Homo-oligomer: A and B are copies of this chain.
Amino acid sequence: MSKWDPSGHPAYLLGRAARLFERRAHERLKKLGLSNAHIPVLRALRDGNAMSQTALAAVARTEQPTMAQMLARMERDKLVQRVPNPADGRSSLYSLTKSTLAKVGDAQKILEKGGLELLAPLSASEHAALTTILGKIVAHMDELD
């Protein structure tokens, strides 16, 4: 039983905490017509930049087809627009629509609120420890690839 009870193990808690957190953010972003997955795109394009699909996939750390489909949905929903890349006939450059640009500030507030909520039960030293520890874990996992 104890060997199979994962409820106290970091590997279990990590996934559970992440999912709980993401659900809350998702719920709030939905009211803006956005979702968690849009955030890396908003961040990359919030200054009016235009980027290719491949570049966006890289910053979002997803595979290209994942980004392709998401951009297609975002375009369908008028969150982004694309223009042909003048320097490369294969690619398009994506940018945020005006209405999306107008939402960026609200989205940021939602994320900040979520961040505060996440850290609310922690002391200052726990907050620092969490950052350090997760940083080490991410670095280690990246290294294993």
CB-CB nearest in chain B for A104: B4
Q: Is the CB of B22 within 8 A of A135?
A: no
| Chain A residue total in the interface (Cβ 8 A) | 48
A121 to chain B: which residues have CB within 8 Å?
Answer: 136-137, 139-140
* Cβ contacts A105-126/B at 8 Å (1 or 0 each): 0001001001101111110001
A33 to chain B: which residues have CB within 8 Å?
Answer: none
Greatest chain B CB density within 10 A among A121, A132, A142 is at A121
Question: How many chain copies does the complex carry?
Answer: 2
Query: Are A117 and B144 CB-contacts (below 8 A) given A61-B16, A138-B16?
Result: yes
Interchain CB contact (< 8 A) of A18 among B14, B132, B133:
B14
Interface segment among A5-13, A68-76, A79-87: the answer is: A5-13
Q: Is the CB of B133 within 8 A of A122?
A: yes
Query: Are A135 and B18 CB-contacts (below 8 A) given A3-B108, A24-B141, A108-B3?
Result: no
Nearest Cβ in chain B — how far from A107, in angstroms? Answer: 10
